[in-house]
Structure formats: structure tokens, C-alpha cells
Structure 1
Amino acid sequence: MHTLIIYCHPYQNSFNHAILDAVQQSLNQSNLKYQIIDLYADDFSPVYSTEELKLYHSGQTTDLLVEKYLKLLKMAHTVIIISPVWWNSVPGMLKGFIDKVMKEGKNLSHIVTKLGVQGELKNIKKCYLITTSTSPTFYIRFFNANGIKKIFLNQTLKQLGFQGRSWINFGMISTTSIERRKKFLKSIRLKKFE
């Protein structure tokens, strides 16, 4: 079992990439093994083709990255997702990752029962979602219905079996000071992702 980082940002000089570096430093300091899924670097297509969608209920895929990503998820005990918040939600690339990689079927990501979706990814004991947003965090939580936490973390990922879900957001990314950015990155480097 290991830690899996899912990184979703297209720009290598972004603050999200600095967060990725800080997370790796934390994991290295704790001597934890990890792998990275870099959705943009992998040129992952979040779009369903007609052929791909036809295979959904069989648990099969036409996309080799889907197979690879699901295998990595099945081996992980900790998942760290690093992503911006765009238009009050996760980016389309990350949503497409969930849409395509989460395959229905026993020993895949989930099964559907009369009571709803039952997650098969119970091996994931901890999940950290680290985001950046233009809006302040309090705005997302209290004035924007807290959709990231309520829907993405506590509905979607919960249904898939992810346990120990938590959200860390760095708000006001466009107008914040360098000192505040450095302080946040330091807190990430010092965090124990276990």
C-alpha cells in the first residue's frame, strides 16, 4: 500500500505546482512511498467516447490510462488530490477523471445496489483534497453552499469508499501576499499525510 497523489493543473509554474512540491517534500521526509498521477502531463482525456461509454457497465475501457489509474487507486491507502477550484467546483479534467476511471463492477471502484452506490475503494483510509481558489475559503463554505466538501468529498468520494476525507483550501490566490503563500507551503511541508 502506498500514497497516491492526483495532480490536476496545466501550468507547471502555478501555486498548485508549488503545493505538489511541498506535498512531495512532506512524504519524502516521512519516508513514505508515493506515486503521482499528473492528469495534464499524462494528456488524459476526460471526455467519454461513444465506444468508452458503451463499455461502462461491463467495467471495461478503451483508455489504457483508465486501467492504470484504477490499479493505482486500488493499491493506495492514502490519496492526496491537488486541484484549483474553478467556477465553484473541481475542474472538468478532475471531474472527467472521476467519470471515466470509476468503473462499475465488483473489484473495480463501485457496485450499484438497491440502496445506491456502494464503494469498492475502501482500501483508501485517508483522502486529502488540497485546493486553491480565487474566492476566500469562508465564501466557498458559507455563501457558496460548500459544494466542494458537501458534494465532491462527502458524496462522490464517500460513495466510492474513500475514508478519512478532509479539505484544505488556500483562498484568495490571486491577491494574496508572498508571505502568506510561503506560510501555507511550510504548513504543507510539515503536515503528516499518513
Structure 2
Amino acid sequence: MKHLVVVAHPAEDSFTLGLVRTYTDELERLGHTQRTCDLYRVGFNPALSAHELMPVSAGHPACADVAQAQDEIRAADVLTVFYPLWWMSMPAMMKGYVDRVFARGFAYESSQGIVHGLLGGKKALMVTCSGAPLPLLVKSGNWNAVQVLQDTHVFRSAGFELIEHLHFDEIVPSLPEAVAAQHMERIRACARQHF
């Protein structure tokens, strides 16, 4: 299978980027091909312009970086996204990627308020991290909000089959090495389970 891995974290030595490296190494060990798009390292521009609100047409092509990102999604069987939850949402860099790349006519169409996803036949996997414990997020209702907005409204609405939303909680700067190692095994196991 062909995998596109998109990650948004500003620190190259972050736990999130460590998960990405472990996951992609496991995919390759399993015989899959993957391309990683590290939004911060490639300098992706997350700002949606007024020009991009216009429908894409022969006389109004997509911006080059968006067209390339859309081609990468078209070529992939699986899209995996990695990002930390900040204020219970994706970082601005990832939100900008979604705003610009998951455009009308590419990721969805809508009529009379009903959205029809155009990326059916593709799988998606979400991997998120938070400092807060997951049981606290569930109890407060915040986790439900994440699932409705990000899992359902973004990825499922675009037509993806969301195969899992894997969340790593209590990720703090002083994370013990043994706990980090257990998490790295979880991400390897996730790759083996699904692919």
C-alpha cells in the first residue's frame, strides 16, 4: 500500500515526530511505501487566500503547493495525520493544510447544506497527543467534541474510512523513557494491526 503521512509539530525532536519516525519505519519494514510531509519542515503556508475560495477550474488552477498536496493524497491508499491537540484542536499548521488542501471539488461537494465526500476508497488514521489524561477529556466532554469535529466533520465528511484515532495522553516534557518506549511499541502495533 501507498501511505501519505502528514505531521504538524514545530519541534523536530518532539515526541510527535518520534512517533512518526517509528510508524514510518514499521510501515517500510512491513513492505509498504510511504511519503512523509512534515508541514513545518517544508514551510507549508497554512493561510487560505481569497483566491483559493474560488472553485478550481482550467482558468483558475489550484496553487502549486496545494495541487502537489492533492496529488499526494490522490496517489495514496492511506492518509495518516499526526499532531498534538492544542486547545483541543489541531495546530494552525494542520488546520491550514485541511483548509487549503481539502478544498471543495477535491475533498467534498455540498448541496443544500449536505456534504458529499469525494475521497471515498481511501483510509485515514489519526494520531494525536495531549498533556491531559484521556479519562479527564472524556469526562469533561472535550473528547466527544474532538471526535465530532475532527474525526467526523473533517475526515469522514471528506469520504475517508477512518480506521482509528489513536491518542497518546499525558505527554509531558518529563515523560519517562520507559513510558515513551511503550508508546513507540503502540504505534508499531497499530501499523501491524491495520496494514
TM-score norm. by structure 1 comes to: 0.89
Q: Paired residue for 1:178?
A: 177
Distance in 1 separating the partners of 2:73 and 2:139: 32
Letter of the structure 1 residue corresponding to residue 132 of structure 2: S
Moved more, 133-142 or 14-23: 133-142
Distance in 2 separating the partners of 1:50 and 1:114: 23
Q: Structure 2 vs 1, CA of residues 62 and 161 (structure 1 numbering), >3 Å: closer, same or farther?
A: closer
Distance in 1 separating the partners of 2:97 and 2:163: 18
Identical pairs, percent:
22
Q: Paired residue for 1:88?
A: 88
For 1:52, what is the secondary structure of its paired residue?
helix
Q: Paired residue for 2:118?
A: 120
Question: Alpha-carbon deviations, 1:113-148, whole Å to 9, x = none?
Answer: 235110101131x22111111111122223143122
Q: Structure 2 vs 1, CA of residues 139 and 156 (structure 1 numbering), >3 Å: closer, same or farther?
A: same
Consecutive aligned runs of 4 or more in structure 1 exceeding 3 Å deviation: 58-62
Distance in 2 separating the partners of 1:101 and 1:29: 29
For 1:150, what is the secondary structure of its paired residue?
helix
TM-score norm. by structure 2 comes to: 0.89
Distance in 1 separating the partners of 2:159 and 2:166: 20
Letter of the structure 1 residue corresponding to residue 176 of structure 2: S
Letter of the structure 1 residue corresponding to residue 14 of structure 2: S
8 Å Cα contact 2:7/2:39 also seen in 1: yes
Q: Paired residue for 1:132?
A: 129
Q: Paired residue for 1:97?
A: 97
Q: How many residues align?
A: 189
Q: How does 1:51-70 map to 2 (within 5 A)?
A: 51-53=51-53, 55=54, 57-58=55-56, 60=60, 63-70=63-70
8 Å Cα contact 1:128/1:166 also seen in 2: yes
8 Å Cα contact 1:76/1:123 also seen in 2: no
Question: Alpha-carbon deviations, 1:98-125, whole Å to 9, x = none?
Answer: 11111212xx21111235110101131x
Q: Which runs of 5+ in 1 are unaligned?
A: none
Q: Paired residue for 1:151?
A: 149
- Over the aligned positions, Cα root-mean-square deviation in angstroms equals 1.8
